[in-house]
Amino acid sequence: MTVEDAAELRLQFTANTGAPAGQVAELQVIGEPAPNPDLQVTGLTWAPQSPSESSPITLSATVRNAGELQSGATSVNLYLGTGEVGTAAVGTLAAGATATVTANIGARDAGSYSANAKVDEDNVVVEKDETNNAYANPTPLVVSAVPTSDLVASPVSWTPSNPQNGATVTFTVAIRNQGTVASASGAHGITLTVVDATTGATVRTLTGAHNGVIAPGATAAPVNLGTWPAANDA
């Protein structure tokens, strides 16, 4: 049996020789979905392209109506990973028309995120195909750490390296900038504490400073912090 241009199919039984109810051994209906809108997300981008932790991020989704009829207004939900981070309204779209909508999702922690979007997730619009509403950008959204200097004491040294009780020990400390930008100019203070290994009590505090800019990845010359008379267990 062939049925053309039908939205519904009705079976009517007029007689059955084997039972009081109608029986069908096999029925096959071949057709196509009726004309309707078909909303698809065809692209998802962000600005700035290389954000840092301090950068507000805007996501932009391009929505296309690939169906035969105009679609009603709906929305696009935006995700980083599995977490929803924003929603953008989508107005009516004529058949074949596209629109790009945006949402500001604010700043994000440093890391790599999969960005994806889903249009008409609440099924407001009756569509020809409800299974093609999602899109994932194949390129991850990478948020970098805020460029900053990061000064650490490295290394800490003393001479003699294995002092005897009562010997005078001289301490030096170098400063390394493990950040991504140069340190500020001026004095960078250093504090070194000598602790009694048995009691945990502080037996001497030594201080000093390095003056000047330290480039990213560079280690400044060692700073002499002074001396301490060695004592057992300290």
Classify strands 134-136 and 98-106 as parallel, antiparallel or unpaired: unpaired
pLDDT band at 234 (very low <50, low <70, confident <90, very high): low
Q: How far apart (Å, rounded) are the C-alpha atoms in residues 16 and 143?
A: 71
The percentage of the chain sitting over the pLDDT mark of 70, rounded to a whole number, equals 94
Q: Report residue 55 CA to chain centroid gap.
A: 13
172-206 tens-digit pLDDT = 999 999 998 999 999 999 999 999 888 989 999 99
Q: Write the CA distances from 167 to 157, 161, 171, 231, integer angstroms.
A: 16, 11, 13, 8
Residue 134 has pLDDT above 70, yes or no: yes
Q: How far apart (Å, rounded) are the C-alpha atoms in residues 108 and 62?
A: 22
Q: Is residue 126 packed enough to be buried (19+ CB in 10 Å), middle (13-18) or exposed (0-12)?
A: middle
Q: How far apart (Å, rounded) are the C-alpha atoms in residues 24 and 11?
A: 10
CA-based nearest residue to 115, from 150, 78, 68, 146 = 78
Q: How far apart (Å, rounded) are the C-alpha atoms in residues 103 and 117?
A: 11
Residue 1 has pLDDT above 50, yes or no: no
Please tell me which of 2-6, 136-140, 181-185 the model is most confident about, judged by mean pLDDT: 136-140
What does the pLDDT average to over 204-230?
95
Residue 6 has pLDDT above 70, yes or no: no
Q: How far apart (Å, rounded) are the C-alpha atoms in residues 41 and 88?
A: 12
- In contact, 229 and 168? CB cutoff 8 Å: yes
User: Could you tell me how many residues make up the chain?
Assistant: 234
Contact residues for 99 (Cβ-Cβ < 8 A; gap 6+): 62, 63, 90, 91, 93
Domain ranges of the chain: 39-143, 151-229
144-158 tens-digit pLDDT = 988 899 999 988 999
Q: Note the pLDDT of residue 5.
A: 55
Of residues 27 and 177, more confidently modeled:
177
Find the range with the poorest average confidence among 30-34, 85-89, 125-129, 175-179: 30-34
Contact residues for 49 (Cβ-Cβ < 8 A; gap 6+): none
Q: How far apart (Å, rounded) are the C-alpha atoms in residues 183 and 174?
A: 14
35-56 tens-digit pLDDT = 999 999 999 999 999 999 999 9
Instruction: Take residue 7 and report the two structure tokens written for it.
Output: 């939205």
Classify domain 39-143 at the CATH topology level. Answer: Immunoglobulin-like (2.60.40)
74-110 tens-digit pLDDT = 999 999 999 999 999 999 999 999 999 999 999 999 9
Task: Please state, rounded to an integer, the average pLDDT across all residues of the chain.
Answer: 91
Residue 15 has pLDDT above 80, yes or no: no
Residue 4 has pLDDT above 60, yes or no: no
What does the pLDDT average to over 57-72?
98
